[in-house]
Structure 1
Amino acid sequence: MNNSLDFDLNRVSELTIKELKNKCSNLELKQELISVIKVLKKDSRKGVQKIAAKLERKIAKKEAIVTKWEKMQQLEKEYSQKGYQVIIGIDEAGRGPLAGPVVAAAVLLDPQNKIYGLDDSKKLNLTKRENLFKQIKAKAKVGIGQATSSEIDKYNIREATFTAMKRAVKDLLPKLQKQPDLLLIDGNAVIPGLTVEQESIIDGDAKVNNIAAASIIAKVSRDKLIYKYAEEFPEYNLESNKGYGTAEHIAALKKYGSTPIHRKSFARVPD
């Protein structure tokens, strides 16, 4: 009935439930899947009905992901219609920890090369985050910047965050064919000292695709740095707490004191 399937839909009744389950488990989300579901639903076996229901859920999940992409692309689409051509999303990771740098990312997505599943990095599990990180690096233009713990102590976390964002933009610029004409920043403040037009968006990492992509790049990039620090300073269990002020981390600070990567200007970090 359909040459792209490895079984004949006219002979579904001749297959065991186990055989059907195996054959349907890796079916791609194409139009043919609708035909498969229709045939399976006509089979009176409960096991076959369960397979059909599972395939329907697979379609619904994919449709939800596509709908979310379109919704999170709406703001950029509106700006594009106004003439903006190079729209960059910017976010950071690591404002709150007691140790390690604050890392920022600037991302230019290709709307024609969609990356489904983008979201606030904090809402994604490790596997999804790292998978999306790889996709973003492969399909988008990415810039990364950081400000060290000593810079945070010197300037304060707010100014250090802006410094990291500026460095991310600077890192991105050579990779672009045109200069950016709009920066979309996660949060409630724009980056001081830049001439390019900016808009700050509260919870932008959950509302705008390119900001969500930046949040993932920043988070995973920072985590990779922290894993290296964890090897150098094993007493603080940084691999687990990522430098945040957990009870275990605070206890280690009281016992061992601070390290060069700790933020001395933060109240809970001893000099």
Structure 2
Amino acid sequence: MTDKAREKEELRLEEMRKEERAVLDLSPIAGVDEAGRGPLAGPVVAACAVIPLDYPFYYLNDSKKMSEKRREALFEVLQKEAIAFGIGIVSPERIDEINILQATYEAMREALKDMEKRFSLSPKILLNDAVTIPGIPITQKAIVHGDAKSLSIAAASVLAKVTRDHIMLEYDEQYPKYGFKQHKGYGTKVHREAILTHGPCPIHRRSFLKNLYS
């Protein structure tokens, strides 16, 4: 990275720290986000992350705006450099049982429990990507497009996305007919055609497939 590029990147990161700096008196601050609300198959995964604001997490951004290679690299960095993080995973069966929104909230609550269990840390405020999580006795702030505006939410975005991608790669080996390695369970043309040809497999969300057969 050139000096000019580094300066530009540091300015961008500082802009993404503004939400955290506004609530520093409520530290520890955790960012919360999810991956996998839209796919036809696989779990929904949530993550929470408490990160050191002075660490230079170069290129950290909304996971959807990053290449797979960069996400994977930052996933490794975040696991090493985060003060604390947690992961919550809710199965396709549970999604069908309670609906995707409630399953997303459940995954977020599980991520917080996981962080508390692993790191003995409870945040005083949650910065969430556009949602307020029911049943959490912690101050929350919902930020629309938060994964592009808050460094903590961006960190959670990457942790959730890469964790879910890894799960879907494992499922690709179990169910090779569906192409999970390529589309990670999202409703691409190839995926939809595979379902119509082979029928759903055990990780498909039955409640998401109704329109496929109409």
Distance 1:269 1:224, change over 3 A: farther
Distance in 2, matches of 1:218 and 1:179, equals 19
Are residues 1:181 and 2:124 paired? Answer: yes
How much does 1:257 deviate? 0.5
- TM-score, length of structure 2 as denominator length: 0.95
Residue 61 of structure 2 is matched in structure 1 by: 119
Distance in 2, matches of 1:148 and 1:174, equals 21
How much does 1:176 deviate? 4.1
How much does 1:112 deviate? 2.8
Q: Secondary structure in 2 aligned to 1:265?
A: helix
Q: 1:225 is matched with which residue: 156, 161, 167?
A: 167
**Structure 1, unaligned runs of 5 or more:** 1-28, 30-57
Consecutive aligned runs of 4 or more in structure 1 exceeding 2 Å deviation: 174-179, 267-270
Q: Secondary structure in 1 aligned to 2:207?
A: coil
RMSD over equivalenced CA pairs, Å: 1.3
Residue 10 of structure 1 is matched in structure 2 by: none
Residue 68 of structure 1 is matched in structure 2 by: 12
- More contact order relative to length (CA 8 Å, sep ≥ 6): 2
Q: Secondary structure in 1 aligned to 2:85?
A: strand
Q: Secondary structure in 1 aligned to 2:141?
A: strand
Residue 130 of structure 1 is matched in structure 2 by: 72
Deviation string 1:120-168 (CA, Å, 9 cap, x unpaired) is 0010001111111110000002100111000000000000000000000
User: Quick one: which amino acid aligns to residue 180 of structure 1?
Assistant: P
Aligned length: 211
User: Quick one: which amino acid aligns to residue 184 of structure 1?
Assistant: L
Distance in 2, matches of 1:176 and 1:147, equals 21
Distance in 2, matches of 1:248 and 1:177, equals 44
Residue 98 of structure 2 is matched in structure 1 by: 155
Residue 236 of structure 1 is matched in structure 2 by: 178
Distance in 2, matches of 1:236 and 1:65, equals 39
Distance in 2, matches of 1:246 and 1:199, equals 33
Distance in 2, matches of 1:181 and 1:223, equals 30
Contact 1:87–1:180 at 8 Å: present in 2 too?
A: yes
**Structure 2, unaligned runs of 5 or more:** none
Are residues 1:145 and 2:75 paired? Answer: no
Residue 263 of structure 1 is matched in structure 2 by: 205
Larger radius of gyration: 1
User: Quick one: which amino acid aligns to residue 161 of structure 1?
Assistant: T
